[in-house]
Structure 1
Amino acid sequence: MGETINIKELFQTLKKRIWLIALITIIAAIISAVISFFVLTPVYESKTQILVNQAKSDQQLYNATEVQTNIQLINTYNVIIKSPAILDKVKSELNLDRTVEDLNSQITVSSAKDSQVVEITVQDPSPQVAAQIANKTAKVFQAQISKIMKIDNVSVLSKAEVKGTVSPIKPQPLLNIAIAIVVGLMVGVGLAFLLEFLDNTLKTEQDIENILELPVMGVITTIKDVPKATNVQRPDVTARVPQRGETLGS
């Protein structure tokens, strides 16, 4: 029974503060929408792929040892791709007005497990610039790796292209608004319970009974003021004094 009363009180608290919860949720959603649409800069993504593969002779079409060696070298290639030796040339050839460190933060290099394919992903406010950086990075790496490691086993598998209308990968307004609504609800509910916890005023006889742990003997109900009647005609009553010898009512 105690649990039922507590749950009922929780719902009563939420019902009493529903306006506060709704207000906080709406404000959070509006702020998130304004920031997503008008404050944050859209960021676009472009990708290119390079293939790490040894040149094969006609007599040796497939060598498992060489494939395994290439796969092990991919981790080394991932580091070299983002090194100043590569990005410095990318920056100068594209005339980018940013530092090598900034360019490094825009580029992500990844590869699937046991795969000879390396994917270069670039994020930039301009989709065209992102594609240029991705393609140029792959091209410079392909040209420089033979000088750095004295090998020639890298080929460009696919180039980054900008086709038609491109959607930014971030921000995602709908996702941001949904997250803001959830956060707003959580904050609103928490604040509602906090205000209820801090409110120590007595409002009902149940509050008095709970605090004093004594039964309530009586309750004074609230009486609304009754408007005074106006222009009420009183009945015409004429009193007559009985004469000698007459009885009352004759």
Structure 2
Amino acid sequence: MDTLFSMKDVIAILKKSILWIASFAVGGLAVAALTVYLLITPMFATSTQILVSQTSEDENAVSQNAEVQANLQLVNTYRVLITSPRVLKEVEKQTGGIYSVPELTEKFAVTTEQDSQVMNITVTDSNPEVAAKIANETATAFKKITPKVMKVDNINILSEADGSKGADAVSPKPWLMMLIGFIGGGLLGVCIAFMRNLLHSTFKEEEDLEDLGVPLLGSIGKLPTYNSNDCKEKGESHEK
């Protein structure tokens, strides 16, 4: 069964189009770099940790273990409460109304470790100081409001978010984006190289006819070229 391209053809096409492929790869790298540094706003993420538990006066180990299990089952409820309008309205007020409640909701990510009562409140924003302020105010608002709506008497803020300007951006990833642009540009160059070969309708070498199984009847040699100085010298030699 005949194939469209043999391995020999593939290697030959790649060698012949290496400059095309390289130029497209460099072009993709340049486009990705310009997009990352000029068009995309970097985003920063800061986190604060809180621990929610209920104090028990019963020193019985079985009772304390049951209390821990009950607290673990309530973690999902706490996560919903953190991003509830009641808490976020307080955050909106304390942060000076920088963002509305719906906008704040999109900036939150509340996560917990497996079988842990510790919750991580992560806020993402283009300004790391604003992200840290929102995260810390959320933890404070949660600690203030939760005892009013649930029977919880022990909420501790384990760590506060740090909004230092030296924080690293979580998105975009410049090197990853540029690597994708470089590889994508190179693949585009390879595709164009093969398309050019498929759409190529002229014959420049004898091998082009041999690949089609067409016999070669003859060939025209390339005529030598002369410059004007050579012609003058030959004319003068004939006169002599």
TM, length-normalised to structure 1: 0.83
Match of 1:59 in 2: 59
Amino acid in the other structure paired with 1:12: A
Q: Is the 8 A contact 2:44 2:126 kept in 1?
A: yes
- Contact 2:46–2:128 (CA under 8 A) maintained in structure 1: yes
1:164 to partner: Cα distance:
6.6
What is the identity, as a one-letter code, of the residue corresponding to 1:104?
T
2: CA distance, partners of 1:87 / 1:53: 22
- Opposite residue 230 of structure 1, the aligned amino acid is G
Q: Does 1:31 align with 2:31?
A: yes
Secondary structure of 2:121's aligned partner: strand
Structure 2: how far apart are the matches of 1:114 and 1:150?
21
Residues in 1 aligned to 2:164 and 2:49: alpha-carbon distance in whole angstroms: 17
Structure 2 residue matching 1:165: 3-state secondary structure: coil
Residues 129 and 165, structure 2, Cα contact 8 Å, conserved in 1: no
What code does the residue aligned with 1:45 have? A
Question: What do the CA deviations read for 1:130-173 (whole angstroms, capped 9, x no partner)?
Answer: 11111111111111111222332422111112357222222222
Number of the residue aligned with 1:202: 203
Unaligned runs of 5+ in 1: 236-250
Q: Report the Cα distance in structure 2 between the residues aligned to 1:164 and 1:138, rounded to whole angstroms.
A: 21
* TM-score normalized by the length of structure 2: 0.87
| Equivalent AA in structure 2 for residue 231 of structure 1 | E
How many angstroms apart in 2 are the aligned matches of 1:139 and 1:116?
A: 17
Amino acid at match of 1:34: L
Stretch moving more, 166-175 or 214-223: 214-223
1:12-65 C-alpha deviation (Å, 9 max, x unpaired): 212222222222222221121122122222211111001122213273467111
**Partner Cα separation in structure 2 for residue 99 and residue 166 of structure 1:** 25
What is the SS of the residue equivalent to 1:108?
strand
Q: Which residue of 2 aligns with 1:241?
A: none
Deviations 1:203-239 (A, max 9, x none): 222222333x24334433323235542321678xxxx
Q: Which has the larger radius of gyration?
A: 1
The answer to whether the Cα contact below 8 Å between 2:51 and 2:119 also exists between their aligned partners in 1 is: yes
1:168-189 CA distance string (max 9 Å, x none): 2222222211111011111111
- Separation in structure 1 between the aligned mates of residue 201 and residue 238 of structure 2, nearest angstrom: 52
Give the drift of 1:105: 1.0
| Aligned positions, number | 232
Q: Residue in 2 aligned with 1:219?
A: 219
Other structure's SS at 1:51 match: strand
Structure 1: distance between partners of 2:123 and 2:165 = 18
Q: Kindly, what percent of the aligned residue pairs are identical?
A: 34
Q: Which SS does the other structure have where 2:153 is aligned?
A: coil
Q: State the partner residue of 2:130.
A: 129
- Residue aligning to 2:235: 230
Q: Distance in 2 between matches of 1:94 and 1:176?
A: 34
Task: Note the residue ranges of structure 2 that are not aligned, 5 or more in a row.
Answer: none
Name the amino acid aligned to 1:83: S
Give the structure 2 partner of residue 92 of structure 1: 93
